[in-house]
């Protein structure tokens, strides 16, 4: 009853207890709804079993110099190329100024012989050509993405075309000379 009289008394004065209660209730409701919304949004992020598939081990012993293999890591192709001397030299000789996304070859490899990159074009996600022997490897001897014409060099760096970045290097570790763990 007291409240009722208070609000009556406050009427016409601009700010009243009722205004405060409206605001407080509204703010409480909004904050509560926002918190309740989060699980509904976050359920769409990768689930735990999806995340659990996040590492892949690869045996490197069967790969000859000049050969490439494709392995699957987190559902994406990863290109592993055992580069020839010429390819390594070519990759190391490039001036950084010539690169749209400047990175030295040393920053992109742990052992110069092994180039390991995610084989997904950084433009819109197509798989570049260049893994199979007969493939078009592009103007820089690495990979060529047919979707919108991006050329990558022997270090997986973007050289020409719409892709903005180099092929990403996944986190990986040499467990021994012949065994690498990706992820």
Helix axes 17-42, 2-10, angle to 10 degrees: 100
Q: Could you tell me the two tokens for 7?
A: 């609000």
Contact between 106 and 169 (Cβ < 8 Å): no
**What stretches of the chain adopt beta strand conformation (E)?**
56-59, 68-73, 76-82, 114-118, 141-145, 150-153, 158-160, 172-176, 179-182
How far apart CA 160 and CA 128 sit, in angstroms, is 13
Nearest distance from C-beta of residue 146 to ligand FES, angstroms: 8
Quick one: what does residue 150 bind among ligand FES, other proteins, none, with the CB cut-off 5 to 8 Å set by partner type?
Answer: ligand FES
If the CB atoms of residues 24 and 37 are measured against other proteins, the closer one turns out to be 37
If the CB atoms of residues 6 and 139 are measured against other proteins, the closer one turns out to be 139
Does residue 109 belong to the site contacting ligand FES (CB under 6 A)?
no
If the CB atoms of residues 140 and 172 are measured against ligand FES, the closer one turns out to be 140
Which residues in this chain contact other proteins in the complex, by CB under 8 A?
41, 44-47, 50, 70, 72, 74-77, 123-127, 145-149, 162, 164
Active site (annotated) includes residue 148: yes
Q: Which residues are catalytic?
A: 148
């Amino acid at each position: 009853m007291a409240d009722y009289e208070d609000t009556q008394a406050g009427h016409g004065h601009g700010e009243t207890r009722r205004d405060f209660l409206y605001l407080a209730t509204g703010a409480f409701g909004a904050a509560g709804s926002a918190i309740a919304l989060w699980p509904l949004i976050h359920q769409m992020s990768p689930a735990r079993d999806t995340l659990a598939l996040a590492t892949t081990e690869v045996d490197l012993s069967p790969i000859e110099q000049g050969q490439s293999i494709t392995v699957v890591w987190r559902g994406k192709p990863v290109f592993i190329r055992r580069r020839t001397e010429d390819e390594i030299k070519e990759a190391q000789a490039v001036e950084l100024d010539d690169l749209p996304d400047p990175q030295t070859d040393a920053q992109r490899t742990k052992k110069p012989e092994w180039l390991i990159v995610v084989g997904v074009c950084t433009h819109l996600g197509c798989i570049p050509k260049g893994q199979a022997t007969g493939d078009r490897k592009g103007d820089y001897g690495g990979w060529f993405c047919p979707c919108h014409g991006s050329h990558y060099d022997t270090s997986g760096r973007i050289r020409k075309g719409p892709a903005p970045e180099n092929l990403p290097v996944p986190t990986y570790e040499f467990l021994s000379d012949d065994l690498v763990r990706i992820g």
